[in-house]
Amino acid sequence: MGSASSRDHLMKLLEPVVSAEGLDLEDITVTQAGKRRLLRVVVDRDGGVSLDHIADVSQAVSAALDDTDAMGQSAYTLEVSSPGVDRPLTEPRHWRRAATRLVKAEMRDGSVVEGRIMAADDGGVDLDVAGAARRLDYEDLARGRVQVEFRRIDDVDGDEG
């Protein structure tokens, strides 16, 4: 089984398992790590993912893999995690989950827009760009990236004084 078809097979197998735990399956990667393979499963949900969520979905994924031969007979390590801040924003749920964050949006026409996410819905995202509201439709967006801020706007209110 090729790597693309193997990944697709694992996605189809594990998506309902992860969904049953109340999470979204964001990505799966299988890489060689010495004599073992490393299976990385990335999950997320609205409101974020706690360590308890990771533990629960890890047990469920492990059980599902044990019940099938999806990973074959050779040894592998299972790693379940949430996406990092560097994950590209490509789906409406990614934009929604990044509400209030500063983002750099790459447009399909090659331009770049930087602003703070005010709201996101199924059609697009509303950004505050230098104090002015701007609506970006997903069909016009290539992807976005959260910008790392050492002091977010919502941290300023309670920290002074």
Amino acid at 58: S
Residue 85 burial (CB count, 10 A): 11
pTM of the model: 0.73
Residue ranges of domains in the chain, CATH in brackets: 2-81 (3.30.300.70), 88-146 (2.30.30.100)
Between 150 and 53, the more confident residue is 53
pLDDT tens-digit series, residues 42-71: 999 988 889 999 999 999 999 999 998 888
pLDDT tens-digit series, residues 8-25: 899 999 999 999 999 999
Q: Which tokens hold the place of 86?
A: 């560097």
pLDDT tens-digit series, residues 22-44: 999 999 999 987 888 899 999 99
User: 154 in helix, strand or coil?
Assistant: helix
Q: Where are the alpha helices (DSSP H) in 21-130?
A: 51-66, 92-97
Q: According to the model, what pLDDT value does residue 84 have? A: 81
